[in-house]
């Protein structure tokens, strides 16, 4: 498992645990929406600077986002379902 994938998964998981869309997260971390998307698709190897900025917004430590088995807080899991009318 590459570090980029670890980070990508943790990022997506943490983002959802916080109930944020890529847009919302991007806005709060002062980054571009498509850049978050790229990160979650492990297109880039982010710098620790970006990792840290994201971690702060998500209320966690930068090291948590690189953890091989990250324990995110129990997400409310809104479970939007897929039946969008």
Partner DNA sequence: ATGTGACTTCAAGTCCGTG
Partner DNA sequence: CCACGGACTTGAAGTCACA
Contact 19, 80 (CB under 8 A): no
Cα(51)–Cα(62) distance, integer angstroms = 6
Q: Applying CB under 8 A, what is the total number of residues that bind a second copy? A: 20
Angle at 54 between CA 18 and CA 59, to 5 degrees: 45
Cα(7)–Cα(38) distance, integer angstroms = 12
CB nearer to DNA: pick between 50 and 58:
50
Q: How far apart are the first and last CA of the chain?
A: 38
By CB under 8 A, name the one of 46, 57, 58, 60 that touches a second copy: 46
By CB under 8 A, name the one of 21, 37, 41, 45 that touches a second copy: 45
Q: How far is the CB of 50 from a second copy (least distance, A)?
A: 8
By CB under 8 A, name the one of 30, 68, 71, 85 that touches a second copy: 68
The site map against DNA for 25-64 (x = CB under 7 A) is: -----xxxxxx-xx-xx-xxxxx-xx--------------
């Amino acid at each position: 498992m590459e570090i980029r994938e670890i980070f990508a998964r943790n990022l997506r998981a943490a983002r959802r645990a916080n109930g944020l869309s890529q847009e919302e997260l991007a806005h709060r971390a002062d980054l571009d929406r498509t850049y978050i998307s790229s990160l979650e698709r492990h297109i880039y190897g982010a710098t620790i600077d970006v990792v840290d900025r994201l971690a702060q917004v998500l209320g966690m430590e930068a090291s948590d986002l690189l953890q091989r088995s990250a324990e995110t807080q129990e997400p409310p899991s809104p479970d939007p379902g897929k039946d969008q009318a």
